[in-house]
Structure formats: C-alpha cells, structure tokens
Amino acid sequence: MINWIASLPNFTAYGTPIYFVYLLLAILPLSIGLYFGKRFAWYEALVSFIFIFLMFDGASWQQLISLIVYVIYQTIIVMGYHHYRQSNNSSLIFYLTCAVSILPIVIVKLSPAMVGHNSLLGFLGISYLTFRAVGTVIETRDGMVKQISPWSFIRFMVFMPTITSGPIDRYRRFEKDYQAVPERTAYLKLVNTGIYYLFLGFLYKFIIAYFFGQRFYPYFEKAAMADPSPLSWNLLGVMYMYGMYLFFDFAGYSLFAVAISYFMGVKTPMNFKQPFKSKNIKEFWNRWHISLSFWFRDYIFMRFVFMATKKRWFKNRNVLSSVAYMLNMMLMGFWHGITWYYILYGFLQGLGLVVNDWWLRYKRKHLKGMPHNTFTKWVAIFVTFNFVMFTFLIFSGFLDTYFFGNTH
C-alpha cells in the first residue's frame, strides 16, 4: 500500500496551470449545486479528500500519514475541551489544553535545531492547522463556539483550498459561512470576484513572481556573492528582488485560495491588502498576511495586554504596549523557525512597532504643526517600504550565507 502511494504523482497546491484545470473541473458540480441553492457536502468531501491526497502522495506520503494523525489528535483535544467547557472553566485546564494543542508544532520547529533534522511529525501546512485548532480552543473558552461536532471541526481544519498555506480562518466564521448557502445573486457575485482573483493570482504568482524570483533574484544573488566587498549595491538588489518575490508569490497563492473558496461558497478572508502602500509599520501589519497578524493580535497581543492590565504588571501603559509588541513579534519570529535571522526579524518588527508608537506620541505632543500632505505621505510610505524590505532581507536567510557561509 505504502509503495503504491509513494509511486503516485504529486500535485502541489496551485503549483502549475494544469492543476487548476483538474481542480475547476472537479468543483464544477459543486458550483452548479450552489447556483441552485444546494451544497453537496458529500461531493465536496470527496473532492477535498482526492486533492489533499494528491498534495501529499508520492514522495510526501509520510506527510500524509502525519496529517491524518495530526487531525485526529487535534479533533480529540478540541472535542474533549468543548465537552469539558460545558460545565467547567478552569484556567489551568485551558492553558494545558492550548499547550497540548501547540506541542506538535513546537516539536516540529525545535527538531532541526535540537536533533539536526526535521521531525517526522511535520507536514506542509501544520502551522496553519495549529492556528485553526488553538484558535478554536480559545474561542470555545470565551464562549464564542457553543456548538461543534467532530465532523464540522475536521471539515474546517482540512478545508482544501486553504490547507497548506492559509489564509487562517476562524471556526465560527467558517461554520456560519458554510451553513448559510449563498443566495443565487450573492453566489454569482462570489464567482465573479473569484474569477478576478484567479486571474490576478496568475499574474502575481506565475508571471511577476517568476521574474522576480527566477530571473532577477538569482542574478543579484550571484553578483552579491562574487563581490569581495562586505556590503555592495548588489545586496540591495537581493533585498528588493526577494521582498517583491515574497509578496507576489505568497499574495498570488492567497488569491488562488480565496478564489477557489468563493467558488465553493465560502468567503475565506483576504490575506493581503496592498501592503506596500502602508504609511507606517502598524498599518503594514494590518495589510500584510492579515489572517496571521490578526491571529497574533487577537490571541497573543490583546490577551497579554488584558492580563497585564488586570494584574497590574506595568504602571505605564506605553511600557505595557511596547512589551506586548515585542512579545507578539518575537513569538512570530520563533514561529517561523529557531534561527537567528527569523528571531532577529521578529525583534526588528517588534522594535519597529514600538518606535512607531513612540513617534506618534512625540509628534502629537511636540510637532503639532507638522504638515500632513502628499509629500509627507510618500515619505512615510518610502521609509516604511524600505524598512520592510530590509527586514525581509534578514528573513530570507541570505545574510547567513553571505556573511557566514561565503568563501571569498
């Protein structure tokens, strides 16, 4: 059986144009049903199973097994806590449940640093599924999730369009959307918007991201590595090419996920909203990888601020917000991986938020006459854009090779 699975072709989600041909043909009956006001849940489950299977078969068959075990594991945790929460609300049990839910991703992230190789527990998308599972536990604790069944939770966890790289949805939003079959006019609008996102995603991922990532970036990478000076203009090329590639590749993928979700009658939230138009780093995080940044904002930042305020850990609220920003972004850095460049990336993003808050307070108090016009707006956008690009250069890991793995 394992040999047969390993011999099958593997289809990376949204990896090639032919993938979309198969996928759109497969979900066509589902779209026809939604047009007539019917959701064929059984057919959707079948299509989802087939395409998820094709994402993790072939050489990725071990990830398929890990995925199945992981989903069963998280379902037991969430359903167990849901049953417990009906009559109890111990903070200790809540934190233990969250810890147990997070444990697999902690093992996966720590394994390369601790034992020198990736954990067998890992699979593509484990981070995003962890956010969904832990978010469901938190919302159950808060009383926002009052009813949940094993099947509805599994359906939410392995929703096919978003399983590997998000966007990160919330259970109660997803389930409300799923149960309310859209009226015909509303569904046609979803399809129309989905078609636009699909073509925009093709432009982003297969054209623009291709040139930045496959044409321009390798040129500057090679030139930077060959330059004997410790810092060069080619390094700036690496910085900008990587940053633009990262955006267009990930934004393109997210547009695909949202588009297919719309075709399936689910309004998955958008992940990017023109982030490079941001006038400060706080606005940037309201536009960049929105589902992730809002998850950290709601479940880490806001809860830490609430707890610290309640227990009076800080006398100064500005100090409290600064500590919360640093904690929030450092955790995000560690989430990406236990390497110096991910951790430094998180630190700099947190520091940027702290400095931004300080600047806004200083400007309100001491620079009341400072003009707000088109010029100052573009200066703010320019500064924010370049700060973001610099942190992306660190995030890329290129500097690790450039400074520590370079032989020139």
Here the contacts of 181-189 (C-beta below 8 Å, separation 24 or greater) are: 181/34, 181/37, 181/38, 181/39, 181/265, 182/34, 182/265, 183/37, 184/35, 184/36, 184/37, 187/34, 187/35, 187/265, 188/35
Q: What angle do CA 10, 11, 17 make, to 5 degrees?
A: 145
Q: Which one of 82, 83, 336, 372 is the catalytic residue?
A: 336
What's the 3-state SS for the chain? CHHHHHHCCCCCCCCCHHHHHHHHHHHHHHHHHHHCCCCCHHHHHHHHHHHHHHHHCHHHHHHHHHHHHHHHHHHHHHHHHHHHHCCCCCHHHHHHHHHHHHHHHHHHHHHHHHHCCCCCCCCCCHHHHHHHHHHHHHHHHCCCCCCCCHHHHHHHHCCHHHCCCCCCCCHHHHHHHHHCCCCHHHHHHHHHHHHHHHHHHHHHHHHHHHHHHHHHHHHHHHHHHHCCCCCCHHHHHHHHHHHHHHHHHHHHHHHHHHHHHHHCCCCCCCCCCCHHHCCCHHHHHCCCCHHHHHHHHHHHHHHHHHHHHHHCCCCCHHHHHHHHHHHHHHHHHHHHCCCHHHHHHHHHHHHHHHHHHHHHHHHHHHCCCCCCCHHHHHHHHHHHHHHHHHHHHHHHCHHHHHHHCCCC
* Contact criterion met (CB below 8 Å) for 26 and 43: no
- Among this protein's residues, is 336 annotated catalytic? yes
CB count within 10 Å of CB 28 equals 11
Q: Tell me how far apart the alpha carbons of residues 353 and 404 are, in angstroms, rounded to a whole number.
A: 29
What residues are annotated to the active site? Answer: 336
